[in-house]
Amino acid sequence: MQSTTSNITWRHVPGKDNPADIVSRGCAASELMETIWFRGPSFLRQDSSGWPQPVPNSQDTNEELELRKATVLTCTDNGSKEDVFDEVINKFSSYRRILRVIAFVLRVFNRIKVNKKLEDFKQQLFDEANTLNLQKFSSIVGFEFKFIPPRAPHFGGLWEAAVKSMKSLMMKNLGNTGLTYEELQTIAIESEAILNSRPMAPLSEDPNDGEALSPAHLLIGSSLMSVPEPSIDESRPSYLTRWQRVTYLKQQFWELWRRDYLHTLQERSKWLKPHANIQIGQMVIVHEDNTPPQEWILGRITNTHVGADGRVRVAEIKVKNGTIRRPICKIAPLPEQTGA
C-alpha cells in the first residue's frame, strides 16, 4: 500500500480504536453490537487535528529502552561474637564444603567493593592463629590418607570398579560424537549422578520403609533428584538439537549402566550350594523398561508364590503406587546385613 500511494501520511491507530483488533482478539456475537466494528472509531468523525498523532521515532530519543538488572549483595551482622572462621568450620562437617564456602567468599571479595566487615573477615581467614586452630582441629579429629600406586587402578577395589564401568560405557557411547567441552562435562556430571543414585542397601528393617541407602546419602544426606526429560527417538539422531543430543546420550548411558548393575544383583552362579529364597519383607529393585534416568523402582516383598520344587518363582511387591506381581527374574534383591 505504501509503494502504490503517494502524498499520504500514515499514522498508528491504538488497539482500542482499531476495529481489526476485535476479530484478532476474539469477541462474542452478543457483544459485537456494542463495539466499534460497525460504526468505526470515533475520531473519524472529527477534524484531522483530533486524529491520533504519529509516534516519534525511537532513534530521536535519548531514553534507554532496556536496563540491565543489577545484582546486589548485602552483608548483615548476626550479632555473633564467635570467630568467623571457627563458625564456618563448626557449621559444616565436610571439608570440601568448607572449601566451597571459603572459595565463594573469596569470589565475593574479587567482585564487589570490600567494606570493613569483609576486610576483617579476610584478615581473620588468613591469620596465623586461625591457621594453627585449623591444624589443631585436624590433629584432634584425625585424617587418614591411603594411596594406591600410580597406574594401578585395580588397587582401588570397589570405587575404581564403579569408575571403570562408567568409563567403559562412556567410551562406547561418546567415541565419535564430537561433543564440545561443556556438553562432555554435562554428560559426565549426569553420569556421576546416575552412579551415585544407585540403591545399595535398605535404610532400615521397617517393612513400610521403601527408601534405600545410596552413595548420594553419604555425599549430601539425601537421595538425588532428576528433572524428567522426554524420551528421545533414536531413529534419527542426526536431526536432534544440541541439548536433545546430550539428553539422548544420557538416556543411553542410563539404560546400559542400569542393566549391568541389575545383572550384578541378579548374579547366578552354579548350583554347588543352595541359595536362600526370596523372603517376605525383603527390599528389591523392580526391573522395568523405559524408566527415566535416576528413577529406581523400589519395593518390599509382601507375598511369594513357590513352584513345584519349593523355590519362589513369583513375588508380589509393594511399591509406592500400589502392589504389583513380577517373576523373580524381573526383581533384584538388595544386599542385607546378616548376623554373624
- At residue 300, the 3 state secondary structure works out as strand
Q: What cell numbers appear for 29 in the block?
A: 456475537
> Do residues 190 and 200 lie in contact, with contact meaning Cβ atoms separated by under 8 Å?
no
Highest mean pLDDT among 51-65, 78-92, 317-331: 317-331
Instruction: Give pLDDT tens digits for 102-111.
Output: 777 766 666 5
Q: What pLDDT is attached to residue 339?
A: 45
265: pLDDT strictly greater than 80: no
Rounded distance between C-alpha atoms, residue 173 and residue 168, angstroms? 9
Q: What cell numbers appear for 232 in the block?
A: 528421545
Q: What pLDDT is attached to residue 340?
A: 37
Highest mean pLDDT among 117-121, 125-129, 284-288: 284-288
With the CA atoms of 258, 294, 325 and 303 taken in that order, what torsion angle do they form, in degrees rounded to the nearest 10? 100
Rounded distance between C-alpha atoms, residue 301 and residue 282, angstroms? 5
9: pLDDT strictly greater than 80: no
- At residue 298, the 3 state secondary structure works out as strand
Q: What is the mean pLDDT of the chain?
A: 76
Rounded distance between C-alpha atoms, residue 167 and residue 153, angstroms? 12
Q: What pLDDT is attached to residue 66?
A: 52
Instruction: Give pLDDT tens digits for 199-227.
Output: 888 877 777 777 888 888 878 777 787 77
128: pLDDT strictly greater than 50: yes
For the chain, state the CA radius of gyration.
33
Of 256 and 233, the one with more pLDDT: 256
36: pLDDT strictly greater than 70: yes
Q: Which residues contact 67 (CB under 8 A, 6 or more apart)?
A: none
Distances in whole angstroms, Cα of residue 259 to Cα of each of 192, 206, 290: 16, 28, 12
Highest mean pLDDT among 68-82, 121-135, 211-225, 227-241: 211-225
Domain ranges (residues) in the chain: 1-49, 84-141, 154-264, 275-333
Instruction: Give pLDDT tens digits for 228-251.
Output: 788 876 666 667 788 888 888 888
Q: What is the mean pLDDT of residues 46-72?
A: 61
Q: What pLDDT is attached to residue 204?
A: 74
Query: With b meaning 16 or more CB within 10 Å and e meaning fewer, what string describes 46-83?
Result: eeeeeeeeeeeeeeeeeeeeeeeeeeeeeeeeeeeeeb
pLDDT band at 274 (very low <50, low <70, confident <90, very high): low
pLDDT band at 38 (very low <50, low <70, confident <90, very high): confident
Q: What pLDDT is attached to residue 160?
A: 76
Q: Which CATH number fits domain 275-333: 2.60.40, 2.30.30, 2.170.140, 3.30.420?
A: 2.30.30
pLDDT band at 1 (very low <50, low <70, confident <90, very high): low
- Of 62-76, 218-232, 256-270, the one with minimum mean pLDDT is 62-76
Instruction: Please state, as a whole number, how many other Cβ atoms lie within 10 Å of the Cβ of residue 6.
Output: 6
Q: What pLDDT is attached to residue 57?
A: 55
Model confidence, pTM: 0.49
Highest mean pLDDT among 11-15, 102-106, 164-168: 164-168
> Do residues 189 and 181 lie in contact, with contact meaning Cβ atoms separated by under 8 Å?
no
